[in-house]
Amino acid sequence: MNWLREFSDRVQTQVSLAPLTWFRLGGPARFLFRPRDTDDLASFLRYATDEGVATRILGAGANVLVQDDGFDGVVVRLDTPAFKRCDHNGESITVGAGVDLMQLSKRLSQQGYTGLECMAGIPATVGGAVRMNAGGRFGEFADVVSDVTLMEPGGTVETWSRERIDFGYRRSAIGGRTVLSARLTVTPVDPLVTRARFDECFAAKRRAQPLAEHSAGCIFKNPKGTPAGALIDQAGLKGHSCGRARVSEQHANFIVADRGARASEVVSLIREIQERVRERFGTLLETEIDVW
């Protein structure tokens, strides 16, 4: 545990993760570390690698289900100023991993830069949006990414082109590396156009999804053919619950957690949905969320 001695002034212990996730449930992190800057992160990762310390990066917590017994390792949050920089240079903008995607998409759309309107209302940090290739029907994050600067587990920094990142449907080749920043290309157009497009994407999301409730967005990836939401709906599972975890009546690919819900109830509901959809349609739904 040499790492703990080295970083003790910026490590918190037994930190509740529920308030840091959109589900608002799950147990604590044994440690939470907020690096001051890239060098600090590199030094921490070297210790963690050498000493076999389990680490996870937590972004906006919008796609994560933390189990009830929490995470027995170090949760890293890139929310210090060094990771929240935005350097705008003409049509190129370099954004830190800790930048809030919803705010970024709103600000750029307000200013008339096109490219991120389709991210309206998607809760994420830039780091999470790169790793998962966040997006939906109107577009995905990969569409605007030129390259990504990331850190290897050993602390070395590299810049990868979008081709090397190999974006796919809710996936990338980032793996066990840490995203530090992304360089995006956004084109200036008439601000009236980008504002209207942003509003349209946000309104569509609000109409279709239970945004006021606690969830992790879509639980399952869409399989080939019929979307997951439609399969779960046709299996008659809307409103079906397991304890205080419930299939949303508004969108069947969302599980909403009522106050007091446990992660184990969400997990049981996920399994039950998978079984019922498989029995009925022969399709195995694959989860989109990260279970810690």
In the region spanning residues 181 to 200, those forming contacts with ligand EPU, defined by CB under 6 A, are: none
In the region spanning residues 18 to 57, those forming contacts with ligand EPU, defined by CB under 6 A, are: none
Q: Which is nearer to ligand EPU, 55 or 253 (CB)?
A: 253
Q: CB of 227: closest distance to ligand EPU in angstroms?
A: 4
User: Do 21 and 61 touch, CB atoms closer than 8 A?
Assistant: yes
Cβ-based neighbour number of residue 56 at 10 Å: 15
Backbone angles phi, psi at 89, to 5 degrees: -140, 90
Q: Which is nearer to ligand EPU, 183 or 246 (CB)?
A: 246
Q: Which is nearer to ligand EPU, 34 or 197 (CB)?
A: 197
73 near ligand EPU, judged by CB under 6 A: no
107 near ligand EPU, judged by CB under 6 A: no
143 near ligand EPU, judged by CB under 6 A: no
281 near ligand EPU, judged by CB under 6 A: no
Q: Which is nearer to ligand EPU, 264 or 287 (CB)?
A: 287
Which span (9-17, 37-45, 213-221, 265-273) binds ligand EPU, by CB under 6 A? 213-221
Please pick, from the candidates 233, 258, 272, 290, the single residue that binds ligand EPU as defined by CB under 6 A.
Answer: 233
Please pick, from the candidates 18, 208, 211, 291, the single residue that binds ligand EPU as defined by CB under 6 A.
Answer: 208
120 near ligand EPU, judged by CB under 6 A: no
Q: Which residues contact 271 (CB under 8 A, 6 or more apart)?
A: none
User: Do 130 and 151 touch, CB atoms closer than 8 A?
Assistant: no
> Burial, 165: exposed, middle or buried (Cβ in 10 Å; 0-12, 13-18, 19+)?
buried
Q: What angle do CA 121, 273, 283 make, to 5 degrees?
A: 95
Q: At what angle do helices 101-111 and 191-208 cross, to 10 degrees?
A: 140
DSSP 142-204: GGGEEEEEEE-TTS-EEEEEHHHHT-BTTB-S-TT-EEEEEEEE-EE--HHHHHHHHHHHHHH
What's the rounded Cα separation, in Å, for the pair 208 and 136? 12
Q: Which residues contact 5 (CB under 8 A, 6 or more apart)?
A: none
Please pick, from the candidates 24, 227, 280, 281, the single residue that binds ligand EPU as defined by CB under 6 A.
Answer: 227
Please pick, from the candidates 85, 137, 206, 271, the single residue that binds ligand EPU as defined by CB under 6 A.
Answer: 137
Binding site for ligand EPU (CB under 6 A): 136-138, 205, 208, 217-218, 221-222, 227-230, 233, 251-253, 288
